[in-house]
């Protein structure tokens, strides 16, 4: 399935009846559940609930006075830091300076991979943000590339980098009236394989296909909800 088919399906969904408030709440709760690791403790659930409340707040803010129609809060380092801080708020094993702040380590590692130092990853992040704000390409390519670069070549925070990247992706999907998705925990192996494909071969297609698959699944589920009498 390509992105054009997804766009057509979204238009079809939007032409059906409106969701009820109860249906919207159930959809939001379902998204939250599929963005957490069910084996983890309550701190992870609380952090994900908080960040999705924050996403909804941003959406309401952008549609409120005095902002003009179509206003979108720009992507900045501060926005990503706020998302990370919100996600990690309940993680008591982290110091306050490790929530929403950039890591300081020179030889930080994850899964055996050495992560770049601040002098490398901060300019990379700034360049990525600038590219994201100024480049006009197919939306699905844009969010895929940002997600992979943020995780694989920048990884700026002490913890919660993946959750931050996935929360930002869902904010962007919601802004364009697409369903928010559970990208990782439905099939963690497929998610990690897509990441490794990018690290090892610079191939973003597996992640792009996974994102399209998840959006398609959510659209199908929401169409079924709207077709119920």
What would the pLDDT profile of 113-152 be if each residue is shown by its tens digit?
789 999 999 999 999 999 999 999 999 999 999 999 999 9
Tens digit of each residue's pLDDT (9 = 90 or more) over 76-119:
999 999 999 999 999 999 999 999 999 998 778 877 778 999 99
Q: What is the pLDDT of residue 141?
A: 95
Q: What is the pLDDT of residue 121?
A: 96
Residue 2 clears pLDDT 80, i.e. is over it: no
Q: What is the pLDDT of residue 105?
A: 80
Q: What is the DSSP string of the chain?
A: --HHHHHHHHHHHHTSPPPPHHHHHHHHHHHHHTTS-TTS-HHHHHHHHHHHHHHHHHHHHHTSTTSPTT--PPP-HHHHHHHHHHHHTT-TTS-GGGSSSB---SS-EETTEEPPPHHHHHHHHHHHHHHHHH--S-HHHHHHHHHHHIIIII--BSS-HHHHHHHHHHHHHHHTTPPP---STT-HHHHHHHHHHHHHH---HHHHHHHHHHHHHHHHHHHHHHH--
The domain defined by 3-227 folds into Fic-like fold (1.10.3290)
Q: What is the pLDDT of residue 229?
A: 61
Overall pTM > 0.85? yes
- Of 42-46, 80-84, 203-207, the poorest mean pLDDT is in 42-46
Write down the domain spans for the chain.
3-227
Tens digit of each residue's pLDDT (9 = 90 or more) over 145-180:
999 999 999 999 999 999 999 999 999 999 999 999
pLDDT > 70 fraction of the chain, expressed in percent and rounded: 100
186-196 average pLDDT score: 94
Q: What is the pLDDT of residue 115?
A: 92
């Amino acid at each position: 399935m390509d992105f054009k088919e997804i766009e057509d399906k979204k238009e079809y969904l939007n032409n059906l009846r409106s969701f009820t408030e109860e249906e919207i709440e159930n959809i939001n709760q379902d998204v939250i559940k599929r963005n957490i690791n069910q084996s983890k403790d309550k701190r992870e659930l609380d952090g994900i609930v908080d960040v999705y409340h924050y996403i909804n707040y941003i959406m309401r803010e952008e549609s409120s006075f005095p902002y003009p129609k179509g206003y979108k809060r720009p992507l900045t380092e501060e926005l990503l830091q706020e998302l990370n801080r919100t996600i990690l708020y309940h993680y008591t094993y982290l110091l306050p300076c490790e929530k929403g702040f950039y890591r300081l380590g020179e030889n930080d590692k994850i899964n055996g991979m050495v992560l770049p130092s601040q002098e490398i990853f901060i300019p990379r992040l700034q360049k990525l943000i600038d590219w994201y704000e100024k480049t006009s390409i197919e939306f699905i390519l844009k969010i895929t590339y940002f997600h992979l670069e943020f995780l694989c070549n920048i990884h700026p925070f002490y913890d919660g980098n993946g959750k931050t990247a996935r929360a930002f992706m869902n904010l962007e999907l919601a802004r364009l009236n697409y369903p928010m998705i559970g990208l990782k925990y439905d099939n963690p192996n497929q998610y990690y394989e897509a990441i490794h494909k990018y690290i090892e071969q610079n191939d973003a297609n597996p992640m792009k296909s996974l994102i399209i698959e998840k959006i398609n699944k959510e659209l199908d589920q929401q169409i079924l909800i709207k077709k119920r009498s």
